[in-house]
Structure 1
Amino acid sequence: MEVITASTTHLLSTLNKLTDHSFFQTLPQSLPVSPCVITSPTQIALPDSFYFSLFFIFGGGLYILLLFPFTLRQKQWLAAPLVAGLFAFPLIFTSTNSPVLQLAHLGACGCVLMRQIDLYYVRPWRTGKEPTMNLEDWWTEVWQPFRKVPMSKEQLQRFELELQQARLRREIERQEREALYNSNHSSSSSASKQSKDMETQAVAGSSDETAKPMKGKPVKQIYTPRVDPNPQHWSAYLPRWFFYAILMDVIPFVMSFITFEDIQNFNIIQTFLLRIGVASMVIFDISLLNYTIMILCAAITGDLVHDTEWTLVRHYFPGFATSPAEFWRQWHHLFQYIWVDLGFHPVKHLLRKHFTSKSKNRQLANGLELVLPVMGVFLMSGLQHEYMMVGMWHIRPGHMTLFFLIQGAGTILSKALLNTVGKKVHVPPVILITLTWIFNLTTAGLFMEPVLKNHGYNMIANQSILLHSYNFLRSNGIF
């Protein structure tokens, strides 16, 4: 025993001689394990259980209301106070004990708020359909952000029927626009007659197709979702889960050494490295969340994991995107359908109803239909992130909205360049990836300003094993 003690003492003394203590003296005595949370004088702090119950009271009430057989006007009147409460109460009340869950709560409230505004007010105006939902649709709605729920035979038939009818409606609208354009320039009635004939055939075809699923007969072409040919047991995804978990421990630990005062004095290279770290943390955090939900679901149900059913498992790493358009296609699709329903479709409906169908300049009309609906999607994403930042840190709004609008413009421009210059000039992918990184990191300052200013990158530091180990070793004088 004395030999072991002596050897250990000699080893430690040797290490102390070789170690430069000046380096350790420059390190902070302790690292922060919680972010800077700002409580506004106008906000009321609530216990966590009461604060997080706001989402279930107002968001759950809106979903339950969809199940009742009320008229459209009655549902809209009943939904109005719930929508107002879902928007305002997370901004009025706050929870200072759980900043991570508070941010998640604000994100959930923002998503459900947008979804319910679409279901109760926008979609009835756009399509004429009342906001109704049965239990089967409700269950699909719950899983939709995370999982593509497999369709039953009846759902497949209904999906295919709606797909065929949507194609017919688009064809009718195209014929009508061409007929109106031709009549304005040649005063010919032949185009109008062709449009009416097309509409009559479409109505007749629609009625025939509607009768098929009513009789229980399958449609001719049934839509079949992609099926994973090699489903895996949930344990096969544990290595990936551990990979993301380790990254989500290392990155907060490294970034905990940085203060906002240090960031303000960074040069260009240091700023870019910092933005890469924050962006990577966001990407890996979302991936870790999705893998956690997927593994828990498979472990509880005993089902094999079909990775085609999960929206974040088969996506490529967005860091290798060759354009902003490809980056956002590869980015997570958790709430994309919400932004599309509330941003893309209403804007396109307004354009076709009030402008493009009446415009004499077809090139301008088609260009607006390609640009403005996409910008509507990015606007909705910006507003949701703005809602989260205002509720969390009470910042002046504008940073998030401007960031996403710039990203939307970059997405549209990159698609236009790909369809024109990209067909004539070959650019090596490594150059395109580098240019995409430069664009994203340059504009990321708008996105990261409130996060960095309030040490938002330290939100999950409390879960970092490395960070707690560092504080423990420093407090006990180990180094």
Structure 2
Amino acid sequence: MWQWKWTADTKLFTILTEKPSPLIDPLPISNTLYTILFVCLSNSLYGLLIAPRPRSTLGKQLIAIPLTLALVLLPLVTRPPSVVVHQSQGAGAIAFGMRMFDLYFLRPRREAKKTTTQTALQKKNDLDLSKKVITQEEKRGPLMWTMTQLRAELWAPIRRVPSTHIPPYDSNKPGLIPVAALIKQAAGYILISDVTIYIASRFSLADLRNLSTVQYGLFLGLFGFIHFSVLLIFNFVAIGWSLATGESVDPEEWTMITKALPYFAVTPSEFWGLWHTMFRAIWVDLGFLPVQRFAKEHLGPDRVGPGLAKAARLALPVMAVFCLSGLLHGYVVFAVWRESPWSQAMYFLLQGVAVVVSKAIEQSSFGLMIKQRYLQGSTAQRAALRAVGIVLVWCLHIVTAPFFLHAYLENEVWLSVVKGSVLWRLLG
């Protein structure tokens, strides 16, 4: 059995990874039909936001309910032959479903709570910042979006567009990245992904079960091709935008372009801060902000005491984000392979706890002392402190990763993408 026995040999691991009994058999369909259904449902939901009818919020909500349910259920009730298509669009389906629930049901409630004074003040600020006249088109209700709102929403997973930004772009702004640099970066990501996929292809499931703990820790790094694939998507989109507009890329807007690799993070919070932000809008709007508001309104110092109130404001919003992430990833492994979603939930729960603990330590007197020693220390002392942090983060991943990787290892997911490796095609 697995050599990292402190995790995989526990009764908890056995319970959480037990494969549930299938309730329904998915309907086999082609990759093309699966993609068409996915695109049509998602586009219908976004198009409904700018459609002139129905005019009422309730009318649009009633239409959005069956469309959202169909989108979320699509990966569960159908099965395309490509695991990559099923997995990627399964993640997209649950992500879209979460986002649509926020846009169609939660955001209108938040908008309705705004007072007339707050709304007028917000409009005044928007007018001052953008230096434009608010037209009748832009005065529509929460579910009567303008094309500007829709474009910002569609860019949200990839590009953060500041509300104060007014074209044309300032080509003299320092730090802009030319398209040639983006192409070089994309080539680097392609090379790294290809090498890691090729190396992973040399291992079977039986081989992995005989790895030592250290070897297993190194194998975790090979799953970085997933991260590099996401970064590559960001780069390709940025390259296309830069070629189409003739403008250099602003890293403040394209936030994933200049992010460092997460594999040398010294704390769990730094690791997840460097991970990709594809679902950031969902985590923030659906998880972090609502829970943060709840903690401020209902768990204040006057109700639970200053210490507990501070802990709640620190921990609960972060844990909400990781719980949502566990839900998304658990849905994917269940939809694609009918594997248990609870192991995914446990992984993200443990990672969330680790992030909360690391943030608490950073804010403590001990953490501040370590930070001061790092800033005032010599180069060797800084390197030693960073090395300790990196080792501790990797130890956390080695202990918790079996919960996340179980479904992917059991189904040898890396072998489903191996045909995309140039090295594999050349060397076999």
Do both share a fold (TM > 0.5)?
Answer: yes
Q: Where does 1:55-66 land on structure 2 (aligned, <5 Å)?
A: 55-66=38-49
> Residue type matched to 1:341 in 2?
D
- Indicate the residue corresponding to 1:87 in structure 2: 72
What's the offset of the Cα at 1:306? 2.5
Q: Indicate the SS of the match to 1:244.
A: helix
What's the offset of the Cα at 1:127? 4.4
- Indicate the residue corresponding to 2:148 in structure 1: 136
Q: Where does 1:226-237 land on structure 2 (aligned, <5 Å)?
A: 228-237=173-182
Residue 76, structure 1, aligned to residue 61, structure 2 = yes
- Indicate the residue corresponding to 1:467 in structure 2: 424
In structure 2, stretches of 5+ residues that fail to align are 1-21, 114-141, 375-384
Residue 50, structure 1, aligned to residue 33, structure 2 = yes
Partner Cα distance (1:320, 1:101) in 2: 31
> Residue type matched to 1:414 in 2?
S
What's the offset of the Cα at 1:357? 7.7
Partner Cα distance (1:410, 1:441) in 2: 13
Q: Deviations over 1:164-204 (max 9, x none)?
A: xxxxxxxxxxxxxxxxxxxxxxxxxxxxxxxxxxxxxxxxx
- Indicate the residue corresponding to 2:306 in structure 1: 362
The verdict on how the C-alpha distance between 1:417 and 1:355 changes in structure 2, with shifts beyond 3 A counting, is closer
Q: Indicate the SS of the match to 1:309.
A: coil
Would you say the 8 A contact 1:42–1:92 is kept in 2? yes
Would you say the 8 A contact 1:40–1:394 is kept in 2? no
What's the offset of the Cα at 1:413? 0.5
Q: Where does 1:301-450 land on structure 2 (aligned, <5 Å)?
A: 301-356=245-300, 359-420=303-364, 421-425=366-370, 426=373, 428-450=385-407
Aligned residue-pair number? 363
What's the offset of the Cα at 1:255? 1.2
Residue 67, structure 1, aligned to residue 12, structure 2 = no
- Indicate the residue corresponding to 2:197 in structure 1: 252
The verdict on how the C-alpha distance between 1:68 and 1:457 changes in structure 2, with shifts beyond 3 A counting, is same
What TM-score do the two structures reach when normalised by structure 1?
A: 0.70
What TM-score do the two structures reach when normalised by structure 2?
A: 0.78
The verdict on how the C-alpha distance between 1:350 and 1:460 changes in structure 2, with shifts beyond 3 A counting, is same
Partner Cα distance (2:420, 2:369) in 1: 51
Would you say the 8 A contact 1:403–1:443 is kept in 2? yes
In structure 1, stretches of 5+ residues that fail to align are 1-38, 156-223, 472-479
Residue 268, structure 1, aligned to residue 213, structure 2 = yes
Partner Cα distance (1:283, 1:154) in 2: 32
- Indicate the residue corresponding to 2:109 in structure 1: 125
Would you say the 8 A contact 1:241–1:288 is kept in 2? yes
> Residue type matched to 2:102 in 1?
D
> Residue type matched to 1:113 in 2?
G
- Indicate the residue corresponding to 1:105 in structure 2: 89
Partner Cα distance (2:238, 2:35) in 1: 23
Would you say the 8 A contact 1:386–1:400 is kept in 2? yes
> What is the Cα-based RMSD across aligned positions, in Å?
2.5
Would you say the 8 A contact 1:122–1:346 is kept in 2? no
Q: Deviations over 1:308-360 (max 9, x none)?
A: 32121121221221111111112211211211111112223334444448715
Partner Cα distance (1:232, 1:274) in 2: 33
Partner Cα distance (2:85, 2:70) in 1: 19
Q: Indicate the SS of the match to 2:247.
A: coil
Would you say the 8 A contact 1:227–1:306 is kept in 2? no
What's the offset of the Cα at 1:441? 2.8
Q: Indicate the SS of the match to 2:180.
A: helix
| Aligned sequence identity (%) | 29
Q: Indicate the SS of the match to 2:217.
A: helix
The verdict on how the C-alpha distance between 1:226 and 1:113 changes in structure 2, with shifts beyond 3 A counting, is farther
Would you say the 8 A contact 2:288–2:320 is kept in 1? yes
What's the offset of the Cα at 1:388? 1.4
Would you say the 8 A contact 1:308–1:314 is kept in 2? no
